[in-house]
Structure 1
Amino acid sequence: MEYKADWYGSRVWKADRWFPSSKQCGHCHRVNRALTLADRAWVCTGCGTVHDRDDNAARNLLEAMLAEPTA
């Protein structure tokens, strides 16, 4: 993937292996450690926001990528 990104002038960003992308609330950033893989939707105990697990993970990963300085 990295060599193809070079072809097109893009870059590949990798999250840390243990980054809690689907377990972290996208609003208050509280981590729900009790979340299991079977839980597809969940409610944050900190702020009450209802999350779809996959949408929340994608938003958290995008936020983390944009917050990282470019090399």
Structure 2
Amino acid sequence: MSKSVQDVGWGQLKTMLDYKCAHAGIVFKEFDEAYTTQSCSSCGSLPESRPKGIAGLVIREWACSGCGVTHDRDINAAQNILVLGHGRLAVIIPVL
């Protein structure tokens, strides 16, 4: 087997989402989520203060050395993915 069961399941989910969205007239896009936890969702930079590598996984909050905004890692990634999905420049998105 060249792919793991998890990869096959993920691929099937994406295929089904693509099909269902096309049927409903909704646009379905895939984005590379690389660096979404490390990029500042406020200024868009990759600051030196960002969490990096495996050791950075334990860092839940970090402050951007470029603009000074403090980020929760998961919320920051979600905001960056939202910006990619909307196809617009990064702006500060209020956290609810």
TM interval, short-chain normalised: 0.7 to 0.9
Paired position in structure 1 for 2:9: none
Amino acid of the residue matched to residue 26 of structure 2? S
Q: Hey, what's the Cα distance between the residues in 1 that align with 2:19 and 2:40?
A: 33
Tell me the C-alpha RMSD between the 2 structures. Answer: 1.9
Compute the TM-score of the two structures, normalised by the length of structure 1.
Answer: 0.75
Paired position in structure 1 for 2:30: 14
Asked which structure has the greater CA Rg, the reply is 2
Q: Which runs of 5+ in 1 are unaligned?
A: none
Query: Once the two structures are superposed, what CA deviation does each residue of 1:44-71 show, in whole Å capped at 9, x if it has no partner?
Result: 1111100011111111111122227xxx
- Larger relative contact order, structure 1 or 2 (CA cutoff 8 Å, min sep 6): 1
Once the 2 structures are TM-superposed, how far is the Cα of residue 43 of structure 1 from its aligned partner? 0.6
Q: Which runs of 5+ in 2 are unaligned?
A: 1-16, 89-96
The structure whose residues are more often helix, as a share, is 2
DSSP-derived class of the 1:42 partner = strand
Once the 2 structures are TM-superposed, how far is the Cα of residue 7 of structure 1 from its aligned partner? 2.6
Query: Once the two structures are superposed, what CA deviation does each residue of 1:8-67 show, in whole Å capped at 9, x if it has no partner?
Result: 22122111253x111101111121465112211111111110001111111111112222
Q: Hey, what's the Cα distance between the residues in 1 that align with 2:78 and 2:18?
A: 20
Compute the TM-score of the two structures, normalised by the length of structure 2.
Answer: 0.59
Report if aligned partners of 2:61, 2:73 keep a CA contact under 8 Å in 1. yes
Select between 33-42 and 52-61 the one with higher mean Cα deviation.
33-42
State the aligned residue count: 67
Q: Where do 4+ consecutive residues of structure 1 move more than 4 Å?
A: none
Percent identity at matched positions?
33
